[in-house]
């Protein structure tokens, strides 16, 4: 099974150590499927995704996928609420630059009417949908999604759930950071929380498997753990 793993992987920012991971020692690895990364603000969830995407300089160690060193440019797609898209490129041009367009999902996300519109003239939700399409078209094995549901309406979230299921069926590894987990928690393969500058799987912290807990259950357990 193709797995994302770590070797002496250290993530720091402004001299602050956020993570120190080693799959062999810590038993932290991500198999194909949807993995929720859950923790309060300020503990480094976004920093972790950015480091794994090759966007931070102050990172040491290696990532491996299927036993091979990860090259972010070729293997990783990073989607974040903080990314700014160019204004004078159409949605079609931007998403199709990542790979062959799949018009089924253009329709599922209800982008037909704005597909050829400049990104600068789209709403926040429409631009977020374009990012989801770009991730899908890229065919990359590893997807890092940082608050990808922000700005999506109910129909778009339903389409995003469909994309997640498609990615799971394709054997992609999806790491997703979201504070509002209720819309996608039931799709998760595993959930992880931050413990002593490492990721710990849900079952090791709460002594029960993560199996589609409701948003209120997730919130209650996390609040109790981080008090």
Residues 58-109 pLDDT 10s: 899 999 999 999 998 889 999 998 888 899 999 999 999 999 999 999 999 9
Contact 102, 109 (CB under 8 A): no
The residues that bridge with 190 in the sheet, in sequence order, are: 35
Q: Give a yes or no: residue 104 inside a domain.
A: no
Residues 81, 131: Cα–Cα separation, whole Å? 10
Strand order of the sheet with strand 16-21? Answer: 16-21, 4-13, 59-65, 68-69
Strand order of the sheet with strand 190-195? Answer: 76-80, 142-146, 173-177, 33-38, 190-195, 198-201
Please write down the long-range contacts of 101-108, taking CB distance under 8 Å and 24 or more positions apart: 101/133, 101/137, 102/133, 102/136, 102/137, 105/133, 105/136, 105/159, 105/162, 105/163, 106/133, 108/159, 108/162
Q: What is the pTM of this model?
A: 0.93
Q: Give a yes or no: residue 207 inside a domain.
A: yes
Given this model, what pLDDT does residue 15 score?
82
142, pLDDT greater than 80: yes
CATH number of the domain residue 183 falls in: 3.40.50.300
Q: How confident is the model at residue 140 (pLDDT cuts 50, 70, 90)?
A: very high
Q: How many domains are there within the chain?
A: 1
Residues 113, 45: Cα–Cα separation, whole Å? 35
Q: At what angle do helices 154-170 and 124-138 cross, to 10 degrees?
A: 10
Q: How confident is the model at residue 215 (pLDDT cuts 50, 70, 90)?
A: confident
Q: Give a yes or no: residue 90 inside a domain.
A: no
- 61 φ, ψ to 5°? 90, -170
Q: Give a yes or no: residue 168 inside a domain.
A: yes
Residues 184, 115: Cα–Cα separation, whole Å? 26
Q: Count other C-beta atoms under 10 Å from residue 185's C-beta.
A: 21
Q: Give a yes or no: residue 15 inside a domain.
A: yes
Q: Mean pLDDT, the chain, as a whole number? A: 92
Q: Give a yes or no: residue 142 inside a domain.
A: yes
Contact 109, 76 (CB under 8 A): no
Count Cα atoms within 13 angstroms, Cβ side, for 100. 2
Q: Give a yes or no: residue 125 inside a domain.
A: no
Given this model, what pLDDT does residue 146 score?
95
Domain of residue 73: give its range.
4-85+138-226
Q: Give a yes or no: residue 110 inside a domain.
A: no
């Amino acid at each position: 099974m193709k797995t994302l793993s770590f070797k002496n992987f250290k993530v720091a920012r402004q001299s602050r150590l956020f993570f120190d991971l080693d799959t062999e020692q810590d038993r932290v690895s991500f198999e194909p499927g949807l993995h929720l990364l859950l923790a309060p603000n300020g503990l480094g969830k976004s920093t972790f995704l950015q480091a794994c995407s090759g966007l931070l300089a102050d990172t040491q160690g290696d990532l491996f996928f299927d036993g091979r060193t990860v090259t972010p440019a070729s293997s990783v797609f990073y989607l974040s609420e903080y990314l700014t898209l160019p204004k004078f490129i159409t949605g079609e041009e931007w998403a199709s630059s990542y790979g062959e367009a799949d018009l089924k999902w253009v329709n599922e996300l209800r982008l037909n009417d704005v597909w050829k519109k400049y990104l600068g003239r789209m709403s926040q939700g429409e631009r977020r949908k374009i990012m989801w399409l770009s991730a899908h078209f890229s065919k990359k094995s590893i997807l890092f999604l940082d608050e990808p549901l922000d700005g999506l309406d109910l129909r778009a979230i339903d389409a995003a759930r469909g994309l997640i299921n498609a990615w799971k069926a394709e054997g992609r590894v999806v790491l997703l950071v979201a504070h509002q987990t209720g819309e996608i928690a039931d799709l998760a393969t595993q959930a992880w929380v931050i413990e002593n500058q490492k990721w710990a799987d849900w079952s090791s912290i709460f002594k029960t498997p993560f199996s589609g807990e409701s948003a209120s259950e997730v919130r209650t357990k996390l609040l109790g753990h981080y008090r």
